[in-house]
């Protein structure tokens, strides 16, 4: 069964002006010292993370790959990728957690950026290089604004986050250099349009042919694009979208399992239960109990620095 990671009210922080289902920022040393400077291997189903290390050292595990990094650097962790960290006691930096849909929305009109965010990344910086100052300044402005309550805060946070993502992608592209044989951005654009259509229509449970027709390609082409870019079939992408929404509703709504099934286009609640159990590894009722127990434990945990 996949790890259950709550999306809202991360780390049990009450009363803080969190951005609902979008963004969370916190200090790496404040969080990691509570766990003896180690965050054990885990993964997130619903969001991605950007770690910004100003200084200090960290031992990183990305899936089965292990390596050591030194600040200044950044780390990008996509959803569903296992990761763990052991930080030095002099570590200084922050972690930014973004719901995957929010990131996709920010990059909606720039499909050529998506390939740079499909895999875990270590992005080292030289403090003297030209690319470092604008990236660091954008991150620092984002972190400062997150802790404020100024007018138009959400608009500015979205703008700053978009800037951070673009600057990070630029640096990744520079490190990677030319990539011969890389698929053209056409497939990435089709994938983005598919996800946009899916976000609008997933509750109607449309089939693959419906989406392929609107994209002007065949179902076979759509399947090939999804497998090339995501490692999933088109049906797998559709099912993942349904599963994501089901997890959120079970964790954070008061709807019954039957009501959630109906809102997601399942006319038969028992079929929804079988679908959810197959893909999530637990029944809807068991999942709801587990995730709410975890939320309760998070709420009871001492705040950072306590």
Q: What is the CATH number of the domain that holds 262?
A: 1.10.10.60
**Which structural domain range is residue 217 located in?**
185-293
In the chain, how many domains are there? 2
User: Does residue 6 lie in a domain region?
Assistant: no
Report the C-alpha gap between 146 and 141 in whole angstroms. Answer: 8
Report the C-alpha gap between 117 and 102 in whole angstroms. Answer: 13
Tens-digit pLDDT string for the chain (306 aa): 333 333 333 333 333 333 444 688 999 999 899 899 999 888 777 788 999 999 999 999 987 788 999 999 999 998 877 889 999 999 999 999 998 878 887 887 777 787 788 788 999 999 999 999 999 999 999 999 998 888 988 889 999 999 999 999 999 888 875 444 444 567 878 887 888 889 889 999 999 999 999 999 999 999 999 988 778 899 999 998 898 889 888 887 889 999 999 999 999 999 999 999 999 889 999 999 988 787 676 556 554 444
Other beta carbons within 10 Å of 251: 20
Task: Tell whether 59 and 207 lie within a shared domain.
Answer: no
| End-of-domain residue from the set 133, 156, 179 | 179
CA distances from 139 to 35, 86, 121, 146, 267 (A): 25, 22, 17, 11, 46
What is the C-alpha end-to-end distance of the chain, expressed in Å? 32
């Amino acid at each position: 069964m996949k790890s259950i990671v709550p999306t809202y009210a991360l780390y049990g922080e009450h009363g803080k002006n969190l951005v609902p289902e979008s963004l969370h920022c916190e200090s790496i040393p404040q969080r990691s010292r509570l766990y003896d400077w180690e965050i054990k291997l885990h993964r997130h189903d619903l969001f991605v993370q950007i770690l910004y290390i100003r200084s200090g050292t960290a031992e990183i595990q990305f899936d089965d790959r292990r390596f050591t990094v030194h600040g200044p650097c950044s780390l990008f962790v996509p959803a569903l990728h296992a990761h763990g960290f052991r930080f030095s006691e002099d570590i200084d930096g922050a972690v930014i957690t973004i719901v995957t849909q929010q990131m996709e929305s920010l990059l909606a009109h720039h499909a050529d950026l998506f390939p740079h965010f499909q895999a875990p990344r270590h992005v080292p910086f030289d403090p003297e290089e030209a690319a470092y100052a604008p990236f660091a300044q954008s991150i620092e402005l984002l972190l400062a604004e997150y802790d404020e309550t100024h007018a138009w805060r959400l608009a500015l946070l979205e703008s700053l986050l978009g800037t951070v993502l673009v600057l990070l992608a630029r640096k990744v592209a520079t490190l990677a250099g030319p990539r011969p044989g890389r698929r053209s951005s056409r497939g990435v654009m089709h994938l983005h349009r598919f996800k946009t259509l899916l976000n609008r229509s997933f509750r109607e449970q449309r089939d693959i042919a419906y989406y392929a027709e609107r994209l002007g390609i065949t179902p076979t082409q759509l399947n090939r694009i999804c497998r090339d870019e995501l490692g999933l079939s088109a049906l797998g992408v559709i099912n993942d979208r349904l599963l994501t929404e089901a997890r959120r509703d079970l964790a954070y709504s008061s709807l019954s399992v039957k009501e959630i099934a109906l809102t997601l286009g399942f006319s038969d609640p028992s079929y929804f239960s079988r679908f959810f159990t197959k893909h999530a590894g637990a029944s809807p009722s068991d999942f709801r109990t587990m995730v709410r127990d975890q939320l309760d434990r998070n709420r009871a945990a001492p705040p950072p620095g306590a």
